[in-house]
Chains A and B, each alone.
Chain A
């Protein structure tokens, strides 16, 4: 892989492209996000600033905060509600040379029991008068997993992400993009707070089951292939469809599809979106194991269980500053509000809060609302 990337870079630097690429627009976004559902509330800000430095360089920085207050189904059945804060910042640069754009980035995420550092690099090449853009990317993640209340607990997790993307102008009205990503994880992949449930006649609470620690494999390799196409409708509106196929060595296989409609009207832009996701469960997932330590690997994370999710989005944006008006150096300004209604049906994850007899518990389902409000400025 290293050899390949070196060769690729050398090829890019030796070639003298005939047409110039473009750097992203200078902009600032100030966003407030709120997730509310399943006993969990997460909110916080995200601020992104992007600015060119000369003709060939664009610098971008992002600061993001999650303030979590959780009494989720996992927490109320095996632990205690908690609050915590996650802070993330990232810094990146885009360097343009002819038709070639190189991107470098670093992201750090910190919370009381988890520290993550990610380094990413990508090269994009515009071809055929920018009709086609080819991108190769690589990211390296070094995470340190901790456990609240156990300062001696510290585990490492390394991630490698290899990606290739192709963006293609197909007609005057249609643009499409194809992305393929392979990810490998190696290290501690468990959630240190989650437990599995197993049949236990000797349970002192009389439930007929007990809990024990999860045990995940130490490696995971996944592949994802996504395709997206956006079409300009004759009356100035846009429609976008997207599909992703995902598979991994834990036997999770998923299909994700979405359809988006964008409709501008005067200084407003309205958007409606429907997203569908369906996945199989990990091979070591069980809602109820037959006994303690029943299998080599075991997990009861609902995210790894077979599930189907549906999202309905409504979004509206208003351009309060546009052509002809400006605030000093700010040429354009918009305010956007959106709500995403997320419904997840779990096909093999029981709701233990229902206090039904063992084996007769209803399946759990999640109903959450995701709100976003943000201001965007271009300069």
Chain B
């Protein structure tokens, strides 16, 4: 059983490492995009609706972290809800 779990853990770590490599590649491409000028399909001046407070992915951080704690205490699942990841940059 322990061996199976260990193997499963190794597989997960390996998958995560691979995922990380893909993300780093994406990062480097994105850095390059600063020079190559890839055009965003939603321009910064077209993001007024996304900048509306009703569109905030985490408009009430204190409340949402409290509720996350409530659910994690009463259910067997956890994580995956994450922070908004920086938002839409439309302030």
One of A134, A225, A344 near B85 (C-beta < 8 A): A134
Q: Which of B8, B19, B55 has the most CB of A within 10 A?
A: B55
* CA gap between A376 and B62 in the complex, in Å: 10
Could you say which interface size class chain B belongs to? 35 or more
In the bound complex, how far is the Cα of B64 from the Cα of A48, in angstroms?
Answer: 12
A-B pair number, CB within 8 angstroms:
246
* Residue pair B44, A279 in contact (C-beta under 8 Å): no
CB atoms of A246 and B80 under 8 A apart: yes
Is A169 positioned at the interface, with any CB of B under 8 Å from its CB?
Answer: yes
Prevailing SS type, chain B contact patch: helix
A254-B76 in contact given A31-B62, A177-B84, A336-B63 (Cβ < 8 Å): yes
Min distance, Cβ B21 to any Cβ of chain A, angstroms = 7
> Least Cβ distance of A153 to chain B in Å?
22
A16 at the binding interface (Cβ < 8 Å): yes
**A276 to B81, alpha carbons, bound, how many Å?**
14
Tell which of A124-132, A286-294, A350-358 binds the partner: A124-132
Query: CA separation between A230 and B81, bound complex, in Å?
Result: 14
- A residues within 8 A CB of B73? 303
Tell me the chain A residues, 334-379 only, with Cβ under 8 Å from chain B.
Answer: 336, 338, 340, 342, 344, 366, 370, 372, 374, 376
Q: Which residue of A lies closest to B46 (CB)?
A: A172
A248 to B9, CA, bound (A): 10
B74 nearest CB neighbor, chain A only: A303
Closest 10 CB pairs of A and B: A130-B89, A224-B80, A179-B82, A15-B31, A18-B34, A226-B80, A127-B30, A181-B79, A246-B77, A133-B86
B residues near A, CB below 8 A? 1, 5, 8-9, 12-13, 16-17, 19-21, 23-24, 26-28, 30-31, 33-35, 38, 40-44, 46-47, 49-50, 52-55, 57, 60-63, 65-67, 70-71, 73-91
Mind listing 28 A-B residue pairs with CB under 8 Å?
Answer: A8-B24, A16-B34, A25-B91, A31-B66, A124-B85, A125-B27, A125-B30, A126-B89, A127-B30, A129-B43, A133-B86, A134-B27, A161-B79, A163-B79, A166-B85, A175-B57, A221-B9, A222-B77, A226-B82, A269-B54, A281-B76, A303-B74, A303-B76, A307-B76, A309-B75, A366-B74, A372-B66, A374-B62
